[in-house]
Amino acid sequence: MCRVWKTAVRIGKEEGVDLFVVQLAALLHDVADWKFTGGDDSAGERAATEWLRGLGVEQSVISHVCSIITALSFRGAGVPTPMVSREGMVVQDADRLDALGAIGVARVFAYGAHRGQQIHDPDVLPGHHATFEEYKQGNSTSINHFYEKLLLLKDRMNTEAGKRIAGERHAFMVQYLERFFDEWNGNT
């Protein structure tokens, strides 16, 4: 959450957007993530609304923040996830950037271990999820996750800063995968 917040502020300053909304959405974007709430993809919006109301935040700000939280997540390779506000675009880019690069590689294997996934199985091919439900139910390998989501993120960035940073992190992951397969196949 802190990495996403820092990146969102960095991009938000470049984009000249409302940093109050950006910071709230970045800090609350995973407050009740569907992956940890039994698949409930509305839990985050409910938790954020309750917390922000308790702080006396204006309803217009709460609505804006919650619209960002609701539309933020990747929902599958074949599922578009457009963001309507510039603040949302900033937070979405920051969230996606956290899944890329060295941190992204670490996250893949940490989450895969949490789910009991294999690191790699050459007989299990990456899936192309056409719906959010398919994506949520998917059971694959950690290496396949690169192809099912992470390597697709570079082309789904909204902001110029997001595109620039994603390009660098994407290149790192491609290099990592080349090395992984060289070692897997006993070539190095």
**pLDDT tens by residue, 7-42:** 999 999 999 999 999 999 999 887 756 454 555 566
Maximum alpha-carbon separation in the chain: 60
Average pLDDT of the residues in 52-79: 81
Q: Take residue 84 and report the two structure tokens written for it.
A: 């309507």
Residue whose pair of structure tokens reads 């989450």 in the numeric block: 111
Q: Which of 8-12, 79-83, 84-88, 121-125 has the highest mean pLDDT?
A: 8-12
Delineate the domains of the chain, giving CATH numbers in brackets.
2-184 (1.10.3210.50)
**pLDDT tens by residue, 126-148:** 877 666 566 556 678 999 989 98
Ramachandran quadrant class, 73 (left: phi over 0; alpha: psi -120 to 50; beta: rest)? beta
Q: Please, what's the b/e burial string for 146-158 (b: 16 or more CB within 10 A of its CB; e: otherwise)?
A: bbbbbbbbbebbb
Average pLDDT of the residues in 94-114: 94
Q: How far is CA 71 from CA 79, 85, 146, in A?
A: 12, 10, 22
* Distance (Å, whole) CA 35 – CA 134: 13
Q: Take residue 114 and report the two structure tokens written for it.
A: 């949490």
Instruction: Using only the alpha carbons of the chain, give its radius of gyration.
Output: 17
The pTM assigned to this predicted structure is 0.85
